[in-house]
Structure 1
Amino acid sequence: MQAIHGRALVVDCSTGTAEPFPIPPAVSAAVLGGAGLASWLLLRFAPPRVDAWAPENPFVLAAGPFIGTGLTTSSKLAIATTSPQTGFIGDSLTSSYLALVLRRTGFDALVVVGRAPRWSVLFVDDDQVRLLPAEHLLGRDPEETAATLRSELGRDIRVAAIGRAGERLVRYAAVVNDGRLAGRTGPGAVLGAKRIKAIAVRGTGRFPAVADPDGVHRAARQLATRSLGPETAKYRELGTVANLAFFSRLGVLPTRNFQAGSFPAAEALSGERLVTQHRADRQACAACTVGCEHHFRTSDGGPATTVRLEYETLFALGSLCGIEDPNVVLRAAALCDRYGMDAISAGGTIAWAMECVERGVPLPGSPDEWPRFGDGASLLRTLEAIGERRGPLGALLAEGSRRAAAIIGHGSETWAMHVKGLELPGYHPKRLRAMALGFAVTPRGACHNRTSAYEIDFSEDAPALAERIAQATARSEDRSALLDALPLCKFLRHCFDDFFVEAANLVRLVTGLSCDADELQRTGERIVTLKKLFNLRQGWTRSDDTLPSRLLGPNGIDPAELDRLIRAYYRVRGWAADGSIPPERLRDLGLESLLDSVSIGS
């Protein structure tokens, strides 16, 4: 297989030692790279039932074969670890120049185990590894940390760092590089538990050769042209913030902790209003022609703040918390970036606390400190308390909504809006049956990025039968998993006339593998199955595939219908009625031989 190095670098930060690890060719052919390789390496190196805080919990960075080929949007790294929020697989994706630099070290992946004896920077300098003292970086935000390390180690390095939230083990802390956050599921907290303030990488080697350089060059030009078409126009012009007002009109915008699906002040937070009154500039990720990244500036007369803003951050710190002032949302987003924490989980956890206050359920600390719906000052104050784990309220909310509700009680579990411990993203699924199914079954918890099932609900011919919804949801998951393995940005998915057919041609040009559309979809299914296998080994049960009780019943999804959808999904996947994976299904997918060196028991 071309376009890969065929090895990972395994670093034990307890001792500072590092060893190359050969990646079997069969593994590379079966899962390609990126999220697929990260999932396999996590299964390979994590002991069964590993705790997220344990030194033995691996932190995996993995590259895909498309990185460095010139294919647009391909500069992405996959992260996999045991999530401090869910206890299951924690996987995130981040666009960055770090992906390009890691590929030039001669490795396809980095696996970090152990716990450093002191706060350290893990410096990967081609094939050499050093642990450098990091005490002088503690308390600094990720951007400051990266700037300091570039001044100390050279301008040609790239850095992934954690902020104070990661240092203080906020369970939804992010890993930050090039201003981009890999935040969902809390990978920054895992690095904090390992006492790794940052990973710095210098790679000076060559990218691995592709199978057909001329063909890849032609394909890259064609894909770049298509990426500038009407399918991505709204992201270039407004960014993903364009979704907020539209979703509110449809009644699917989560508002006041999912108590409603429309926000009366949606127009004040609309993409059009933000672009008109607050836009600062537009940027693009590494190796990207789309340029969906929009930066916005406060205009409230206070200290100027400019921040990258996406729909999920806008909803989580805006409508979900009842906040109408875009300046407050921008300042809240900047705080999440500065502390290095996931805005969706931060907003979701604070919204849970706001509802506690609304319902008269006491929180720790002084009532003057408690956050309240629509109160921008209390939102900003609470974010700072979480990032610092300051006081009893900050410490409680740093645990996330599931754990916080279990501690507080008083029925507050009812309005803790999470799946498997991961707070819900910005889609109210009361009218979205496929989205509800996707939220319930996705391995990492409620997620819109591991399935685009909501597109099924928004289509004009949305299927009514459970079996068809399950089939469409599973295929959407397979496509998302494949995009994360190659990698390519999900915003490109509509730039293809037939995604699996055209992606198979790209895979052939880059890697030399001969595979058709059906086999490529099986690759996506293998990756989804690997993630599920990890969860099964961690103690997953059928009861984990569900939705918050608020979303079930007369004003939401009928519980019996959700159960029918989940059972249909298991059948489509070839799983047992209890959600377990029969050995014959592993054989059908060609996974059984890839798991010879992996313990898949509990």
Structure 2
Amino acid sequence: MLGYAGAILHVNLSAGRWYTEPLREDFAKSYIGGYGFGIALLFKHCPSNVDPLNPDNPLILAVGPLAGTMTPGGGGGHVFMSKSPQTFGVGLARALGHFGAELKRAGYDVVIFKGRSDRPVYVWIDDGSVQILNAEHLWGKSPAETEDAIREELGDYRIRVASIGIAGEKLARIASIISDKTRVAARTGMGAVMGSKNLKAIAVRGTNDVSVLDLEGFKEFVKTLHEKMRGPAFEKYRTMRTANEILKCNMLQALPTRNYNDVYFDAVEDLNKGLKRFAVKVNSCNSCPIGCEHIYAVPHGPYKGAEARIEYASLWALGPNCGVHRLDVVIEAVRLCNYYGIDAVSTGVTVAFAMECYEKSILNKEDLSGVDAKFGSHEALIALIHKIGRREGIGEILSEGVKIAAQKIGKDSEKLALHIKGVEITGYDLRTLKTTALGCAVSFRGDHTTHGCQTLELAGKLSRIKYEAGRAKIVKDMEDQYALMDSLILCKFCSEAYSGYDDFAKLYSLVTGLEITSDEMRLAAERIVNLTRLFNIREGLGRRDDMLPWKVMNVPIPGKGPSHIASISQQELNMMLEDYYLAREWNEEGMPRLEKLKELGLEEFANIVDTKFVKA
């Protein structure tokens, strides 16, 4: 079994000990890698109903079979998984870059962290050597500072580091884990779980080769992928896709603005001009020919010297969603999110929530620690990010994310909190993208990256405003494919280079030597999605959690444009959910039927679902 490193590393932080176990071939073929490995091992090692910040909640780091190979868009990614402190169900944060390749070369497919150290530590993985080292001198440093300090301390600047910032140390529920200084494993609060273990960082150095079975066949397949990725279909990723996406969403009136109070941002052109003016360099992930990582720097003004990687989601969340039109401010805001180690999207959505609470007099200036939090105020945006990152003043509450913050604030502020299952929404107005709305409602983490249906709707391949029966099959199929890509850990931007499951199966077999058909690949993807649902059911989530934010369902879009008065009623959402559950072969409560579990080889988990719902 090639491609895989062949080992799972267990690190007990409470005891200060570690051991390895071999990766079984049947397990590898059933769950592929990355997300698949993570959910299967989370089920095994996470106690039912454990508090996400309890030492018994494991933090799982996993890579896929392609990590460390020259697969374009698939050679360097990794996932962190745990029970989420935001959703209280499955948590997953993914990042690309180079860290995953280094872990594979060090000899591991998975690392499972359990327990809690009695002092801050970092784990140093140097090929077959594993050490748990003192990190008290690193506590309080940013992820970038931590990376530099560890490299200097260990005397090797080729070391790859994944670490948390101050927010993760202080258990902010929107904390992230950052590697390669700009690669952020955001979403679902994995940084808080890492902080709860007193684990400041994971440092990795690997010198082993990653072998593939059919090298010549693999090289020929990769050559074909490179040719496709250098073609015109991928030009948008090389030439500032971020700008193109935000302009398109604005034109279609699908750009959530000022906390869902509008769908059109009249100053979007200011941001667009800034993107062209402030771009300074382009980076690529391990073995990728595209180079989609655009770095922007502020050359002058109050934020001179600020530098950050900007993507569509962070630009939207910290720009139009907060009413901010200056790119220098957004660059500084993203820089601060990375400095403190907080999810930029969750931060932007939370700040916008606070701004609307302020404008509606739910919160006053005193509540906000003296911040005049009006929409469009760049001073307010920056001030609130500092407070969230440090968990100071109002930041103590806001760092919990909008769901818990709204529960603590009360005064009907829950209606202004834009989240799904506790995770802040992303930058596509769900009132105007009905198929995407369904995908987000049923997603275990409530965002578009688990299905990608917005790509079809924004391209005009599906009607945006009207939901039609049968669309759920599209959501289900795309959700399955994205789950497989997160298990192989392939970049979603590269998906157009692959001919679906046939190519995925071919690539997997060329690398690992394990023969697998496209149908078996499809079944593995469905197995991963269903096991995720079962974990959430075990933890108490169900149909009532397949819900959309109050504003999406109760506040029609204002104005007279193409999206005028669009919204989603409870009746419409019920119809959409029933359509989806039928496509999934789940029952009316959104629980997998026994026949489906048997088909997927998951019948051992049938006891999780109440008997009255399991029967067909």
TM-score by length of 2: 0.93
State the 1:300 CA deviation: 4.2
State the 1:565 CA deviation: 0.8
Matched, 1:24 2:24: yes
Alignment equivalent of 1:563, drawn from 557, 564, 574: 574
* Cα distance in 1 between the residues matched to 2:348 and 2:301: 25
Does structure 2 retain, via aligned residues, the 8 Å contact 1:316–1:347?
Answer: yes
Alignment equivalent of 2:484, drawn from 460, 463, 482: 482
Letter in 2 for 1:433: K
Distance 1:12 1:600, change over 3 A: farther
Q: Equivalent residue for 1:128?
A: 129
CA distances 1:76-121 after superposition (whole Å, capped 9, x unpaired): 0011111111111110111132211111222210000100010111
Distance 1:326 1:459, change over 3 A: closer
Matched, 1:99 2:100: yes
Q: Equivalent residue for 1:183?
A: 186
Letter in 2 for 1:566: L
Distance 1:367 1:395, change over 3 A: closer
Alignment equivalent of 2:265, drawn from 263, 266, 280: 263
Q: How many residues align?
A: 593
* Cα distance in 2 between the residues matched to 1:51 and 1:390: 24
Does structure 2 retain, via aligned residues, the 8 Å contact 1:71–1:224?
Answer: no
* Cα distance in 2 between the residues matched to 1:43 and 1:237: 41
State the 1:24 CA deviation: 3.1
Does structure 1 retain, via aligned residues, the 8 Å contact 2:387–2:395?
Answer: yes
**SS of residue matched to 2:485:** helix
State the 1:600 CA deviation: 4.8
Q: Equivalent residue for 1:432?
A: 433
Structure 2 counterparts to residues 438-477 of structure 1, below 5 A: 438-444=439-445, 446-462=446-462, 466-477=468-479
* Cα distance in 2 between the residues matched to 1:61 and 1:361: 40
* Cα distance in 2 between the residues matched to 1:120 and 1:473: 42
CA RMSD of aligned residues (A): 1.8
Does structure 1 retain, via aligned residues, the 8 Å contact 2:322–2:375?
Answer: yes
Alignment equivalent of 1:238, drawn from 240, 249, 252: 240
* Cα distance in 2 between the residues matched to 1:585 and 1:337: 42
Does structure 2 retain, via aligned residues, the 8 Å contact 1:283–1:294?
Answer: yes
State the 1:341 CA deviation: 0.7
Letter in 2 for 1:245: L
* Cα distance in 2 between the residues matched to 1:299 and 1:249: 29
Question: Structure 1: which 5+ residue stretches go unaligned?
Answer: none
Does structure 2 retain, via aligned residues, the 8 Å contact 1:3–1:66?
Answer: yes
Q: Equivalent residue for 2:250?
A: 248
* Cα distance in 2 between the residues matched to 1:43 and 1:231: 39
Does structure 1 retain, via aligned residues, the 8 Å contact 2:59–2:112?
Answer: yes
Letter in 1 for 2:514: L
Question: Structure 2: which 5+ residue stretches go unaligned?
Answer: 557-564, 611-616
State the 1:367 CA deviation: 6.2
Does structure 1 retain, via aligned residues, the 8 Å contact 2:275–2:327?
Answer: no
Q: Equivalent residue for 1:195?
A: 198
Q: Equivalent residue for 1:592?
A: 603
CA distances 1:389-447 after superposition (whole Å, capped 9, x unpaired): 112x0101011100111111111100100000000000001121111001100012x21
Relative to structure 2, which stretch is displaced further, 296-305 or 428-437? 296-305
Does structure 1 retain, via aligned residues, the 8 Å contact 2:434–2:467?
Answer: no
Letter in 2 for 1:426: G
Does structure 1 retain, via aligned residues, the 8 Å contact 2:481–2:525?
Answer: yes
Structure 2 counterparts to residues 109-120 of structure 1, below 5 A: 109-120=110-121
Does structure 1 retain, via aligned residues, the 8 Å contact 2:97–2:284?
Answer: no
Q: Equivalent residue for 2:356?
A: 355
State the 1:153 CA deviation: 1.3
Distance 1:346 1:275, change over 3 A: closer
Q: Equivalent residue for 2:386?
A: 384
Q: Equivalent residue for 1:277?
A: 277
Distance 1:418 1:84, change over 3 A: same
TM-score by length of 1: 0.95
State the 1:239 CA deviation: 3.7
Q: Equivalent residue for 1:7?
A: 7
Does structure 2 retain, via aligned residues, the 8 Å contact 1:71–1:219?
Answer: no
**SS of residue matched to 2:470:** helix
Q: Equivalent residue for 2:47?
A: 47
Distance 1:461 1:316, change over 3 A: closer
Letter in 2 for 1:231: A
* Cα distance in 1 between the residues matched to 2:108 and 2:206: 10
CA distances 1:304-344 after superposition (whole Å, capped 9, x unpaired): 21211111010000000000111111111110011111011
* Cα distance in 2 between the residues matched to 1:368 and 1:561: 42
CA distances 1:2-40 after superposition (whole Å, capped 9, x unpaired): 322333111110111112133332221111111111111
Does structure 2 retain, via aligned residues, the 8 Å contact 1:467–1:569?
Answer: no
* Cα distance in 2 between the residues matched to 1:33 and 1:287: 19
Q: Equivalent residue for 1:217?
A: 219
**SS of residue matched to 1:132:** strand
* Cα distance in 1 between the residues matched to 2:164 and 2:54: 18
* Cα distance in 1 between the residues matched to 2:485 and 2:404: 32
State the 1:157 CA deviation: 2.0
Q: Equivalent residue for 1:582?
A: 593
Give aligned-pair identity as a percent: 37
Q: Equivalent residue for 2:37?
A: 37
Letter in 2 for 1:18: W
**SS of residue matched to 2:441:** helix
CA distances 1:498-554 after superposition (whole Å, capped 9, x unpaired): 322222221221122333333222221111112112111111121100101110145
* Cα distance in 1 between the residues matched to 2:234 and 2:467: 31
Does structure 2 retain, via aligned residues, the 8 Å contact 1:235–1:292?
Answer: yes
**SS of residue matched to 2:2:** coil
* Cα distance in 1 between the residues matched to 2:395 and 2:576: 38
